[in-house]
Amino acid sequence: MRTGPASPDEHDDRPRGPLTQPAGWDVPARDAGSSVHWSVMNHDPQRSLPGWTRGGVPPRAQSRRAHAPAFPVSGAWREGDPQGDRRFADIGALELEAGGIIPAVRVAYETWGTLNAAGDNAVLILHALTGDSHVRGAAGPGHQTAGWWNDMVGPGAPIDTDRYFVVAPNVVGGCQGTTGPSSIAPDGRPWGSQFPVVTVRDQVAAEIELSRMLGIDAWQFVVGASMGGLRVLEWAILGPEAGIAVESIGVIASAAQTSGDQIAWAHPQLTAIHADPRFRGGDYYEAAPGDGPHVGLGIARQIAHTTYRSAVELDERFGRIPQGGEDPMRGGRFAVQSYLDHHASKLARRFDANSYVVLTESMLTHDLGRDRGGVMTALRSITARTLVVAVETDRLFLPAESRRIADLVPGAEPAHVLRSDLGHDGFLIEFDQLGPLVVDFLARATRSGA
C-alpha cells in the first residue's frame, strides 16, 4: 500500500506513474542527464552544434542536450551555512577500529521532546546512507529536504514526542554537520582524500560519547533502517559495554553482516565516483561550481536506486513507456530512465561524493560477529527486547537476513514483514504498516518494564 506522504530522504519521493507526472517533472531529470549528457555532451564539439546530424540521422543523444545549471561541487553542509535545527557536540578525539585517530570530532544532531526526570524516555533514531539528523521538520534554511520520517516522529505519532525525548545524530563520515570528508582538518583544509576509514563501530562509538554529553545513560528504544539498522545492532552490544543501557531496539530492513551481493552492488557505485575525473581522488572542494564529481555521484545513485525499488514496481509503474514526448528510437529516454536521472540530480545537489564513498565503505565492512566469535554468537549476546521488520520485496536487504536476526536474538519477536511492492524503500513509505508495529512494540515493551 502507498499511503501517507512519501519521504524526501535517501531514496525516493512520492510514488507516481509516468503518465501522471506533473508538468516540469523532466526539468530536474534533464539537469541531471545521463552519463552521455554529463560526460560526453560537454566534451564533444560536434554534438554541441544545434541541429547537427550525421547523414540526416538525428544524433543519438539529441534529446539530452539541454544545458544543465552548474551543480554545486558538494551538497555538504559547511561552516557558515544556516544552522537550521542542528545542534552540535564536540566529543573530542575518536580512535578508529582500523587504526588511526580523528583528533577532534563534532557531532551534529537534532532533538524533539523533553528528557524526563527519571531519564528513562530517551529514543535514538539512526538514519540511512544519504539521510541525516533531520528526521522531522520542514525544508528550509539549513535543511534542503523535509524530515525523512515525519509520519513516524512527532506529537501523537508512533514515536510520540509528547512522551519521548528523541535524538537523531548525523553519522561520522556524513556531510550534514558531523565531522566527515568535507569538514576542516587540522591543517585548515577540508579532509578530502585524507579522511580515514571509519567503521560502523566507530560511528556508534561517537554516538556513545554524544549520549554521555547529553546526560543519557539509558535508551528506551534505539531504532534505524538500512544503514541505520547496522548501527542499531552495534548499539545493542557496545552501549551496555560502555555503561549505557539499551532497553529495546528496532532493526528495520537491515542485516547483521554485509552480504557478497550487497558488496557487489556497491562496487560499481564506488567505481563510478572514483572514475569521475572531477573527483580528483577526493580533493575537489576548491573546484568551481559545476566542476565537481556530480557525474560519478549521480551514476552511483542510479545504480543504488535500482536496488531500493523492486522489479514489480518498476515494471508496473514505468514498463516500456517513453518519457514525455521523447522517442527512445531517436535519442530519447524511457520514463524509467528519466526517473533515475531525476534521482541522480537530486542527490548530486544535496549530498557529497566523498561521504557517499566513506559511508558505503563503512557498510561494506559491517560484520556484527567480527572479533566476537561470529554473527551467531554476537546476536545471541544481545539482551534488548528486539523488533525486527523486513520488506517482502526488498532486494538489497533480503527478508531472510531479518529473519536470521529475529531467530537468534533471545529477546526478539518473530520478524514482521511489510507487504509492499516498493522494495527496500518500503520502510520510508509504508507508514500505515510500520507505524502500528512500532506503537504496539513500544506499548508492550513499556508494560513489561523494559
Residues taking part in catalysis:
226, 394, 424
Distance CA 8, CA 225 (A): 15
| CA separation, residue 136 to residues 56, 111, 435 (Å) | 54, 9, 15
Could you tell me which residues are beta bridge partners of residue 249?
Answer: 222, 386
**Nearest C-alpha neighbor of 251 from the set 268, 264, 237:** 237
User: In sequence order, what DSSP letters do the residues of 21-50 get, joined into one string?
Assistant: PPTTTHHHHHHH--HIIIIITTT-TGGGST
Q: For residue 345, what is the DSSP state?
A: H
Give the three cell numbers for residue 411: 529477546
Which residue ranges make up the annotated binding site? Answer: 301, 425
Cα end-to-end distance, the chain, whole Å: 32
Distance CA 377, CA 379 (A): 6
Distance CA 157, CA 172 (A): 28
Here the contacts of 80-87 (C-beta below 8 Å, separation 24 or greater) are 81/142, 82/141, 82/142, 83/142, 84/134, 84/140, 84/141, 84/142, 84/143, 85/110, 85/134, 85/137, 85/142, 85/143, 86/110, 86/133, 86/142, 86/170, 86/176, 86/177, 87/111
Which residue ranges make up the annotated binding site for substrate? Answer: 301, 425
Distance CA 80, CA 245 (A): 36
Give the three cell numbers for residue 152: 513516524
Give the three cell numbers for residue 50: 544545434
Q: Taking the CA atoms of 409, 135, 211 and 91 in sequence, report the sign of the dihedral they define.
A: positive
